[in-house]
Structure 1
Amino acid sequence: MAVPDTFLTLAAPAAAEPPKTKGSRFIGEAAPVRTEAEALAAVAAVRAREHAATHVCWAFRLGPGGPKGRSVWRTQDDGEPSGSAGAPILREIEGRDLTNVVVAVTRYYGGTKLGVGGLARAYGEAAGAALDAGRPARGTVRVPVVLRFAFADTAPAMRLLDAFDAEVAEQTFSPDGTELALRVRRSHAAPLRAAFVEATAGRGEVVESR
């Protein structure tokens, strides 16, 4: 089965706060991210701003750029009972088929214990409200392709960029010619390589992607 070239994420950060649950405030914040480092930085920013909060629980999901399109995810209960916070947040992300998204839910304790079930509902509700407040956006999965060719083959090589929706990440010149580091749609990578070899009559070289 072919791995899709696009995925659903958020266009921009969003936040929402449902009504209090037995006196506790649950504030959901969602943001688009590209890497685990970005996700953790977003959580750290929430934690620094909401430093008086009882808990800042979170989950993120990254996915379409990984091997065979597999998702990568992490959750954190931040001192709440195991599985009562991070997992419900992740379920809200997955339930909307979103990826490259992090959600943090800040809790200010209201004096009444909620139990595992009550916590799961409250954290899930805040996460869902934040995600629903955001605007969905369609992202494109791109992979690296590096081409090397002589100056005489510049015209046929460059014509391929538009034909295959290729983005130039880096262009390097040497006495022997040009090296182009491209980012292309995943499904276009193999056809582009074949078309490049044909366009340059075998003179061009597809080098190790980086």
Structure 2
Amino acid sequence: MPFTLVGPCEWREEIRKSRFITLATPINSPADAQAFIEQNSDQNATHNCWAWKLGDQYRSTDDGEPGGTAGRPILAAVEAQEFDQVVVLVIRWYGGIQLGTGGLARAYGGGANKCLQQAARLPLINRVPVRLDCSFSELALVKVRLADISALIQEESFTANGVELTIAVGPEHIDSLQQQLADLSRGRIILQRAATE
């Protein structure tokens, strides 16, 4: 099962006088990854190497380090720990002692590994968006049913007649949830697939 990060995390270490800071955070788009990299890169550092993974999309860079010694080891650490929807940035300040290609790969990949290992993780569950309308009096019971199946409430708007909800629910729960909500509302609450952008 793939995981993402609960929030940003950081790991700092010194390897043969070079300082390394590893930063990681969850992302929802390539633009999120790029924004994180731009906001957190240190222009005074020797190298700002990074990798991100978002489903089937991924990117990495060595930022001047020898080819394959930084970006790929960072990406390998992300994949080895089954992370998705994350970006990892490793910032290096050169300390005067060369690490060699193997040492660089170990430093960048190891920093990413340690940063992700100690971070709080969240399982990525496949969910589909659905809509439903319920009355004010049914809302609390509906929310209990949604919590039971780890559904996420994406939007909640109050109308003159009740509440419109857009939720994200695991596809395997849709039929049983529909039955529970129909029983709860005497057949009035009906789940509808929400339009996806």
Partner of 2:66: 81
Which of 69, 74, 91 does residue 76 from structure 2 map onto?
Answer: 91
Partner of 1:119: 104
Q: TM-score, normalised by structure 2?
A: 0.73
Which of 89, 92, 105 does residue 107 from structure 1 map onto?
Answer: 92
Partner of 1:45: 39
* Identity of matched residues, %: 35
Distance 1:175 1:9, change over 3 A: closer
Distance 1:176 1:204, change over 3 A: farther
Which of 111, 119, 133 does residue 135 from structure 1 map onto?
Answer: 119
2:146–2:152: 8 Å Cα contact kept in structure 1?
no
Letter in 1 for 2:47: H
Does the residue aligned with 1:51 lie in a helix, a strand or coil? coil
Partner of 1:57: 49
Q: TM-score, normalised by structure 1?
A: 0.70
Letter in 2 for 1:15: E
Does the residue aligned with 1:40 lie in a helix, a strand or coil? helix
Letter in 1 for 2:30: E
Letter in 1 for 2:63: D
Which of 8, 11, 14 does residue 16 from structure 1 map onto?
Answer: 11
| Separation in 2, partners of 1:109, 1:116 | 14
| Separation in 2, partners of 1:28, 1:127 | 6
| Separation in 1, partners of 2:6, 2:160 | 43
| Separation in 2, partners of 1:56, 1:87 | 13
Does the residue aligned with 2:165 lie in a helix, a strand or coil? strand
| Separation in 1, partners of 2:22, 2:189 | 55
1:146–1:209: 8 Å Cα contact kept in structure 2?
no
2:129–2:193: 8 Å Cα contact kept in structure 1?
no
What is the aligned length?
Answer: 191
1:115 Cα deviation after fit? 4.0
2:4–2:124: 8 Å Cα contact kept in structure 1?
no
Structure 2: gaps of 5 or more residues: none
2:129–2:194: 8 Å Cα contact kept in structure 1?
no
Alignment of 1:166-181 (within 5 A): 166-172=151-157, 179-181=164-166
Letter in 2 for 1:137: R
Does the residue aligned with 2:63 lie in a helix, a strand or coil? coil
Structure 1: gaps of 5 or more residues: 64-70
2:46–2:92: 8 Å Cα contact kept in structure 1?
yes
| Separation in 2, partners of 1:183, 1:100 | 17
Structure number with higher relative contact order (C-alpha < 8 Å, ≥ 6 residues apart): 1
1:105–1:123: 8 Å Cα contact kept in structure 2?
yes
Partner of 2:187: 201
1:10–1:137: 8 Å Cα contact kept in structure 2?
yes
1:203 Cα deviation after fit? 7.4
1:88 Cα deviation after fit? 0.3
